[in-house]
Structure 1
Amino acid sequence: MDRFAALVLAIVLPALPTAVAAQALSCRVPQSVAPAAPAEPDGPPRSLPITSYTLAVTWAPDFCRTHFSDPSAAFECGGQTARFGFVLHGLWPDSDNGSWPQWCPAKPPATREVPAAVVRQMLCTTPSPTLLAHEWGKHGTCMAPTPAIYFNRAAAMYRALRFPDMNALALRSNLTAGAFRKAFAAINPRYPRESIGLQINQGGALEEIHLCHDTAFRPRACDVRGAPDTASVRIAPLRR
């Protein structure tokens, strides 16, 4: 076991007995799952020292409100085989000065393709083969020797999280980013409010939570927290 994997296990395993086992309300993986084809780079390769990490989780009801007809989001938003609350977007390495390493060379035996076995394992956590390929190609190649190791690490951290009652928060007419951070920190006491970044769209709807970590995977204050505590937040309700 490498140092990175050992650090993750030491942090998330104590939290697992009280963590929600899965964030999907219902999820059935298709019988046939193909490898995820390599993603097209959206920027240049960049080798930089890793100084921190961000764990990003997406609020699927808001995402699906605008992506329900997107073929790449069919499994997440089609409603036939899966219904989701928060899903794992990715585990990202960060560097200083607002930059990050990306699109690093995939060293043998790793490839840019995400194997079918890994896609199958991850579909109820990150319900998009296209996104899995992108996360491995852009971020995972800079952090881990294989897709399996990268996604195992990210999924372990995600599955250790708990989430507040999102439908109850959705009913609040005066919800603020600060109140949401307080609710999240209350159910995840290892995360102080300063380590919880929130991404909201122009209409104030919650899109993502960005959880900031140091190089030992301990929560740390975010350099960029997104929405300020005073910002109003709307939450798309979760379908039951």
Structure 2
Amino acid sequence: MGRYTGLFAFGLFLAAAAVYGLLPADAPMDRPSPTDTSQATPGPMARAPSPTAKPADPPRGKGFDFYVLALSWSPTFCESEAAARNQDQCGDGKSFGWIVHGLWPQNEKGWPENCATPEGGRVPHAIGRDLLDIMPSMGLIGHQWRKHGSCSGLGKRDYFNLVRQASDKIQIPPEYLEPDTLLRVSPAAIEQSFIRANPGLARSGIAVTCEREKIDEIRICLDTGLGFRACPEVDSRSCRRTEIAIPPAR
């Protein structure tokens, strides 16, 4: 009887094994495949910008007609007597080229300045420090806010964000970016180079100013949305010399 019991048990084992073999295997853990991104959480660099995304609109000022962006050639200033009072811009080891002198609210005739504002006159370092690469001293930043930014209808942070956007908009022609030798050229030729480098900019919207026989500033007129626009009064103040000097970058 024991022999039959053993055979019966062995038969049951074989039957169970056959049934188990017909069962489906365990499903794998649910995880995204290498080409499945539906469940992935991309990092900051993994997300491509939307083809329809637009840059943020600049904050809109009010109470004036347009802006003048004044770009100053630092080597000219640093050869002047005033340089000794601005070591942040002209001290040892400093080597600035084009800097933002200011973004000035302007009217078709004349301009507002030193306006009353609930923002007060002092620019916190927390705001100014982000501009020191284009406006190299807190003294300049504070002065520009009090005289010009206060008339923009904007708060300090929005105004200086706009200064940055305006500066970033302008392309400096390569020949005037960092000249390492003294250049002598006509104001009209400088204007034409800036016009070629900045599509949409016209001769009636730019002025080259001079400090005696040297270049002083490039002044470019922008509407309140930072588009190029004409400005006859500003253009009329362009340097009238036939040739001016551009000192080399330090």
- TM-score with structure 1 length normalisation? 0.71
Cα distance 1:171–1:62, how it changes in 2: closer, same or farther (>3 A)?
closer
Distance in 2, Cα, partners of 1:94 & 1:126: 20
Structure 2 counterpart of 1:188:
198
Higher Cα radius of gyration: 2
Cα offset for 1:230? 6.5
Aligned pair partner of 1:89 in 98, 101, 104:
101
Distance in 2, Cα, partners of 1:172 & 1:69: 21
Counterpart AA for 1:198? V
Structure 2 counterpart of 1:63:
77
Structure 2 counterpart of 1:238:
249
Cα distance 1:125–1:228, how it changes in 2: closer, same or farther (>3 A)?
closer
Distance in 2, Cα, partners of 1:170 & 1:161: 23
Counterpart AA for 2:196? A
Structure 1 counterpart of 2:58:
8
Structure 1 counterpart of 2:19:
none
Cα offset for 1:56? 0.5
Secondary structure of 1:8 counterpart: coil
Aligned residue runs from structure 1 range 12-161, under 5 A:
49-67=63-81, 69-71=83-85, 73-80=86-93, 82-97=94-109, 99-107=110-118, 110-161=119-170
Query: Does 2:187 align with 1:177?
Result: yes
8 Å Cα contact 2:77/2:83 also seen in 1: no
Cα distance 1:215–1:145, how it changes in 2: closer, same or farther (>3 A)?
closer
Cα offset for 1:172? 4.6
8 Å Cα contact 1:93/1:142 also seen in 2: yes
Distance in 1, Cα, partners of 2:80 & 2:66: 31
Secondary structure of 1:58 counterpart: strand
Cα offset for 1:69? 4.7
Secondary structure of 2:229 counterpart: coil
Distance in 1, Cα, partners of 2:246 & 2:92: 19
Cα distance 1:6–1:229, how it changes in 2: closer, same or farther (>3 A)?
farther
Cα offset for 1:215? 3.7
Q: Percent identity?
A: 30
8 Å Cα contact 1:68/1:78 also seen in 2: no
- TM-score with structure 2 length normalisation? 0.68
Cα distance 1:228–1:114, how it changes in 2: closer, same or farther (>3 A)?
closer
Distance in 1, Cα, partners of 2:247 & 2:67: 27
Q: Is there any run of 5+ residues in structure 1 with no aligned partner, and where?
A: 11-47
Cα offset for 1:201? 1.7
Q: Is there any run of 5+ residues in structure 2 with no aligned partner, and where?
A: 1-54
Q: Which has the higher contact order (CA 8 A, sep 6+)?
A: 1
Distance in 2, Cα, partners of 1:196 & 1:142: 22
Cα distance 1:70–1:170, how it changes in 2: closer, same or farther (>3 A)?
same
Cα offset for 1:232? 1.2
Structure 2 counterpart of 1:199:
209
Cα distance 1:170–1:195, how it changes in 2: closer, same or farther (>3 A)?
farther
